[in-house]
Amino acid sequence: MKNFEGTLRLCIHTKDVVVITGYSEGYSRRIIREIKAKYNKEPQHAVTISDLCEYLGLKEEEVRKRIH
């Protein structure tokens, strides 16, 4: 999704994981928690698209197309 300046967003949200993977919302929240644990992120820190792609073994360009 583009923000007001026209740049691509950096962070991923639960609903994005649902769209990308087809997993349930609850399981998608779990994935985000697991990513935060793996990368030693604090609860208030965001998960980036790059983090998600590395964790799930996906190509970033494909993920960006899905959540545009």
Please write the tens of the pLDDT for every residue from 31-45: 999 999 999 999 999
Q: How far apart are CA 2 and CA 31, in angstroms?
A: 24
Q: Is 48:11 a contact under the CB 8 Å cutoff?
A: yes
Q: Is 47 helix (H, G, I), strand (E, B) or coil?
A: strand
Residue ranges of domains in the chain = 11-67
Mean per-residue pLDDT for 53-58?
97
User: Who's near 44: CB < 8 A, 6+ residues apart?
Assistant: none
Tens digits of residue pLDDT in 2-15: 545 555 789 999 99
Predicted confidence at residue 67, as pLDDT, reads 85
| Alpha carbon distances (Å) from 61 to 14, 17, 25, 40, 49 | 19, 15, 23, 25, 10
